[in-house]
Amino acid sequence: MNEWYVYMLRCADQSLYTGITTDLQRRLDQHNNCDRLGARYTRGRRPVTLVWQESHPDRSSALKREAALKKLSRCAKERLLLSD
């Protein structure tokens, strides 16, 4: 079984992007370099930097955590970043 990661990126415009992956380095490279594979949101906001990550045992729990994080306000996300 693959370990899954929930992650947050800080974009060049200082916005935050949240996603999930099994390979953080590959996904970060895709966000920064691939027009086809990077998320549409991050394509126009490059470069992006990994600012937070959390591991999960399976895709289901990672998706649930991602959904919960996406519902947070920007202020709450920034507090989460400061707490780690």
What lies within 8 Å, CB to CB, of 21 at 6+ separation is 4, 5, 7, 27
Q: What are phi and psi of 16, to 5 degrees?
A: -115, 140
- How confident is the model at residue 1, as a pLDDT? 67
Domains and CATH numbers, the chain: 4-83 (3.40.1440.10)
What six digits make up the tokens of 36?
A: 């086809």
Q: Percent of the chain having pLDDT more than 90?
A: 87
Residue in the block written with tokens 């693959």: 2
**pTM, two decimal places:** 0.93
**Could you tell me the pLDDT band of residue 13, with boundaries at 50, 70 and 90?**
very high
* Structural contact between residues 12 and 45, judged by C-beta atoms closer than 8 angstroms: yes
Instruction: Write out pLDDT tens, residues 37-68.
Output: 778 899 999 999 999 999 999 999 999 999 99
